[in-house]
Structure 1
Amino acid sequence: MIMQQWYRANGTTTMQLSFGNAEYNGKRKRTRREVLLSEMNQVVPWKGLLALIEPHYPTSGQPGRQPYPLEMMLRIHFLQQWNALSDPAAEEALYDTVSMRRFAKIGGLDEVPDETTILNFRHLLERHDLARKLFDRVNAHLLRKGQSLRGGTIVDATIIAAPSSIKNKDGARTPEMHQTKKGNQYYFGMKAHIGVDEESGLVHHVECTAANVADITKAHKLLHGKEGTVSGDSGYTGLDKHEELRTKRKLRYLIAEKPSKLKQIKSKRELKLTKRWEHAKASLHAKVEHLFSGDQAPVWLRQGALSRFGEEHRTGADAVCTVESVADAQRVNACRREVCL
């Protein structure tokens, strides 16, 4: 324990090679999870992200238990979001999965952080608005690497549901959340609005609102200003007539038609051509759907039960509207097609 605290105090993470680790290193086949995490280890701009958090992270040197290394906690946070894990599930996964421990740089002299420590780190990011800064830093890194092409923009939104019984520390419902209806189902929580580059599939803008805010009202905030086309589902019908966009330069809008409009077409030839055109628009819009599902995309947007700073920790509480973006999209995409975490 004394040696462990000394290593933490000096910011050192030591990988002690046990018999189990030696056997693990000697195996011939690498799993798809290991391949993906290896790619992530190379393409994520760790130094830049750590520099943003370091001024706010507790320093060592004080009496008592020393804080875990910052890089370890950030890597665990990313693992948690990429796998949509609650805090207790993240702790258990680190105990169970060797590849995740190795990615987080947890060695033989280090203990796996408990669920409360993982929760507190996420609250640290929320308290200092670091998630937005991390997102902007990654986008800047992608731009320098030439991965953010900034072509047309695809817009979409998704509801992030929370239990309707959630209340803040004052015993009242949080005003940032609201109830909405989608189809025949009612939801309570928030909504994530995203703008995605149509070429690379990378997220370049994110806005979070209450769940009852209409998708179209935030569309103008999801544009980077250099696109020539804007794509979206039928929830963005009439976007070209929206007040915030009428004064902007001329854009081409590829908005999906509502099913009721298709039913009004009587000509079979016209209906066939229209369906082919709608299929082409849907194929383009599918890049956004992959982000919400976590499938085949270099950027992951995870959604789950909402967890706010200042609340009592609850089992199953996940991060709010977390977007994790990584560089070198082509390499990661090649791996992601083979992996379902």
Structure 2
Amino acid sequence: MITPGSALKFDLFAEASRKRKIDEAGDPLQTIAQHIDFAELAVLVDGIVGRADARKGGRPAYPTEVMVRVLVLKRLYNLSDEQMEYQLLDRLSYQRFCLLQDAMNIPDRNTIWRFAQRIGVDGATALFQGVDAQLQRHGYIARGGQAIDATLVPAPRQHIGKEDKERLAQGKTSDWNEAKRRQKDLDATHTKKHGKSHFGYKLSVSVDIKHRFIRKIATGTASERDGHHFDAVLDEDNTGRDVYADKAYPSKCRQEMLKALGWRDGMQRRASKDKPLSECQKRRNRKIASKRAKVEHVFAGIRHLGGKFIRTIGQARADVAMTLMAACYNIKRLAMFLHKGVDPFYKNTTA
């Protein structure tokens, strides 16, 4: 019970007062909304997947810009569709970011899910490329060389019986019903790293050394070698010629390829059973480590976006999730750079 004379006060303009206080405190979502052109990103998505045909009847579609903002927000905080629906109903900052503060209706979980399915890999790739175009427009071109690496992206572990595993290994189909089959991820794979077992997918990236933006990406499964997508993520637009990578990447063929293309080999060397590293090679590895670590900073930044865990089933949906993961990292970092006024040509970019 609220007693008379308490500090709690009621006012018809309480909502406006709270909005003002949020702005004064600094809403990070409004910083992103201020500096990222979501209308431009929505046009790119519509150009790839088109708009739903309203002539077929049914409820009119939400504006693409609204849904792109919802999808970005969902990935920024790694929320499920159900959680995203609830937060849109509950949080003022989420409503403002998604242009829904005065809307009578809010996208529900099914609408959010269907939009993600509709844009698919092509739409997600268009978003990633659209963000990259905005990076270029603001002067943040790829400079200083590049660091290439891959990170494991965990997915929900599957509980498959021994008999079903044997049948699947033989290329046969299981006797699961349709509902159960939809919940089984048969694309994700297992791998071991540092003595720990992992299940899921793998995201390979090229990161520019100067600004630490993700410039190229490739996706695969957890069991693929880190160097499997090296050629796919090598960024030919980087103005620097140094290519840094850890000990999982060097090979004689790759070293010759980089030399032929005019790139400088910055891959760390690894020892073999009968041939330990020389002192010169060890010093070289240590020198490369500080440059190569730039990509680890990026992976740490992705973990801060609610973690790398994805809730999808199947390679295609995982590709969408990982592509959006990279796009949202760049969105958040670009907004921070522009908010702080980071000069793209400043000698030492430490942000």
**TM-score w.r.t. structure 2 length?**
0.71
Match of 1:319 in 2: 321
Structure 1 residues 308 and 164, CA gap change in structure 2 (3 angstroms): closer
Q: Does 1:25 align with 2:37?
A: no
Q: How far off is 1:220 after superposition?
A: 1.8
Q: Deviations over 1:208-244 (max 9, x none)?
A: 01211111121122112254111122322x2464278
Taking the aligned partners of 1:99 and 1:73, their CA distance within structure 2 comes to 16
Q: How far off is 1:99 after superposition?
A: 1.2
Runs of 4+ in 1 over 6 A off after TM superposition: 264-267
Structure 1 residues 248 and 171, CA gap change in structure 2 (3 angstroms): farther
| Number of aligned residues | 301
Match of 1:181 in 2: 192
Match of 2:290 in 1: 283
Taking the aligned partners of 2:157 and 2:142, their CA distance within structure 1 comes to 40
Taking the aligned partners of 1:287 and 1:256, their CA distance within structure 2 comes to 14
Match of 1:228 in 2: 241
Q: How far off is 1:179 after superposition?
A: 1.9
Match of 1:203 in 2: 214
Match of 2:69 in 1: 75
Structure 1 residues 242 and 257, CA gap change in structure 2 (3 angstroms): closer
Equivalent residue of 2:321, what SS? Answer: coil
Q: Does 1:109 align with 2:107?
A: no
Letter aligned with residue 140 of structure 1? A
Match of 2:7 in 1: none
Q: Deviations over 1:191-212 (max 9, x none)?
A: 1100111111111110001211
1:171 to 181, 187, 195: 181
150-159 or 49-58, which deviates more:
49-58
Letter aligned with residue 186 of structure 1? S
Match of 2:308 in 1: 303
1:53 to 45, 57, 60: 45
Letter aligned with residue 295 of structure 2? V
2:30 to 32, 38, 58: 38
Taking the aligned partners of 1:201 and 1:152, their CA distance within structure 2 comes to 10
Q: Deviations over 1:72-121 (max 9, x none)?
A: 11111111111122212222222332112111111233322222221111
Structure 1 residues 132 and 28, CA gap change in structure 2 (3 angstroms): closer
Q: How far off is 1:184 after superposition?
A: 1.8
CA contact (8 A) 1:196 1:288 kept: yes
CA contact (8 A) 1:291 1:301 kept: no
Taking the aligned partners of 2:143 and 2:278, their CA distance within structure 1 comes to 39
Letter aligned with residue 232 of structure 1? A
Match of 1:15 in 2: none
Letter aligned with residue 253 of structure 1? D
Match of 2:119 in 1: 125
Q: How far off is 1:256 after superposition?
A: 4.0
Larger radius of gyration: 2
Equivalent residue of 1:117, what SS? Answer: helix
Taking the aligned partners of 1:219 and 1:202, their CA distance within structure 2 comes to 17
Q: Does 1:249 align with 2:254?
A: no
Equivalent residue of 2:248, what SS? Answer: helix
1:217 to 201, 215, 228: 228
In the alignment, structure 2 segments of 5+ residues that lack a partner are 1-11, 161-175, 343-351
CA contact (8 A) 1:139 1:204 kept: yes
Q: Does 1:156 align with 2:149?
A: yes
In the alignment, structure 1 segments of 5+ residues that lack a partner are 1-17, 336-341
Taking the aligned partners of 1:329 and 1:25, their CA distance within structure 2 comes to 22
More helix by share: 2
Taking the aligned partners of 2:195 and 2:34, their CA distance within structure 1 comes to 45
Structure 1 residues 231 and 60, CA gap change in structure 2 (3 angstroms): same
Letter aligned with residue 90 of structure 1? M
Structure 1 residues 93 and 57, CA gap change in structure 2 (3 angstroms): same
Q: How far off is 1:305 after superposition?
A: 2.5
Taking the aligned partners of 2:264 and 2:128, their CA distance within structure 1 comes to 28
Taking the aligned partners of 2:14 and 2:252, their CA distance within structure 1 comes to 61
CA contact (8 A) 2:154 2:200 kept: yes
Letter aligned with residue 199 of structure 1? K
Structure 1 residues 58 and 295, CA gap change in structure 2 (3 angstroms): closer
Match of 1:89 in 2: 83
CA RMSD of aligned residues (A): 3.9
Taking the aligned partners of 1:135 and 1:29, their CA distance within structure 2 comes to 29
Q: How far off is 1:332 after superposition?
A: 5.0
Q: How far off is 1:43 after superposition?
A: 2.2
52-61 or 153-162, which deviates more:
52-61
